[in-house]
Amino acid sequence: MNKTIRRASVFALLLVLALLVRATWLQFYDGKALADDNDNRRNAIATYSRPLGNIIVAGNAITGSTRTKGSDLAYKRTYTDGKLYAAVTGYASQAYAPTQLEGVYKDLLNGTDNRLKTVMDTVTGERSEPGDVLTTIDPAVQKAAYRALGDKKGGAVAIDPKTGKILAVASTPSYDPSALTDANTAGQAWKSLNADKDKPLTNRALRQPLPPGSTFKLVVAAAALEDGLYKNVDEPTDSPDPYRLPGTVRDLANENKSAPCENASIRVALRYSCNNVFGHMAVQLGQDKVRAMAEKFGFDDDAQDVPVRAYTSVYPSGMDQAQTALSGIGQFDVTATPLQMAMVSAAIANGGKLVSPHMVSQITDSGGDLLKDFDDSAGTEEIISSTTAEQLQSAMQTVVKDGTGTNALIDGVTVGGKTGTAQHGENNSKTPYAWFTSYGKSDSNGKEVAVAVMVEQSDAARSEVSGNGLAAPVARAMMQAALK
């Protein structure tokens, strides 16, 4: 064999080997990726070849499945009270990737979760019978939140402080997930929902961090008490009124010009929501100490899973002193979700201990056998001392009894709260955000709940926008429902 033929043979052999390597790669590596691709029609056919497992609220399924006609997708998802629970369930669609609990537990709900496999499933290679997701949601609290928000654009969360169970996750305006389940009609519904200027697909309870305004003053107060800057909530503070922002010619004004905010104690400053007190306090502490306290409560945590991943609430860094002062009143670049502010009240209500918030209690197989219990595995962390928590509880009660939060008063319930009205737009040119975070303890049955409400937009006149006017009544309705 001459040299030319030998070289050609070696080259041809190398091409064959390369082809074999590539084919093997495609079959055993890329093949799995292609098989798992959301655009692979076979996956959708397999997923919807039979009914999905269900999401359960208080023992009742709020999801279901129904037969389709004239389609290779034999079943589609259905929802009971879809708009009410959309912020909890999300949607399972024949056309789009699932979201919220439907997305987090898609493998469990469609039967591909390995924990569901029986010996027979392994032998036959068939999909297992799907499992169910049992939530911590209290239907009474969920309905109270959704109805009280009404036509307002906003979000609300309720948490049991002692267990971390999330009792309600409401977002308005909402949408009906059923509109997105059928591949034949989902496209038009998707376009319509995304074109809506009110963004109904946005989960405002978990996934829209906005400036929390004066509700953030609770975090600053906690930092001041824990640091020893002030010994208790009734000690006078070093707080000039007006307070000139350091390095500027701007004074940090108070909404109530006649309020006794000069050198006011923390109790009085929370009662009247004195900006000068908490702006100066943040500068006295320094941004690092305020941030450390904020992070204890959950700010800057980019992996806050409940188990739906909530968007990060942020306490900024790299600020000058003027910006630090503005951060002390929940402005500048501070942002928070209703979930985050509910966590703040929950920790204060629970004696300074924050129990990991979660809205799934258990997951089970098709026969109801337990696969995992999240209530038993919820972690607890001491955020602040019990002494500081008691001091803040007392001050928050003053806010509700005869301060800025009187619309949250409930007969037979000890209520503590904090209002917030956060500036929106350049030079506060747009309608402010209204906030209220609170806790309630029943005087008769011992039940407890922590709540946060954010109203992003309403029909109220700008002069009537306040945490007490718009958000506190929603919180009150939620607490009443939770404490029955």
214 is catalytic: yes
**Closest C-alpha to 457, from 479, 482, 425, 484:** 425
**Strand partners of residue 314:** 335
Question: What is the DSSP-derived secondary structure letter of residue 469?
Answer: I
290-326 in b/e form (b: 16+ CB < 10 A) is bbebbebbbbeeeebebebebbbbbbbeebebbbbbb
Nearest Cα to Cα of residue 82 among 200, 163, 164: 200
Q: Please give the Cα distance from 432 to 469 (Å, whole number).
A: 13
Instruction: Compute the distance between CA of residue 478 and CA of residue 168 in angstroms, rounded to an integer.
Output: 9
Instruction: Please pick, among 171, 174, 178, 214, the residue that the annotation labels catalytic.
Output: 214
Rounded Cα gap, residues 204 and 310, in angstroms = 10
Q: For tokens 């039979």, what's the residue?
A: 50
The residue type at 477 = A
Nearest to 286 by CA among 251, 315, 252: 315
Is 119 in a helix, a strand, or coil? helix
Catalytic positions: 214
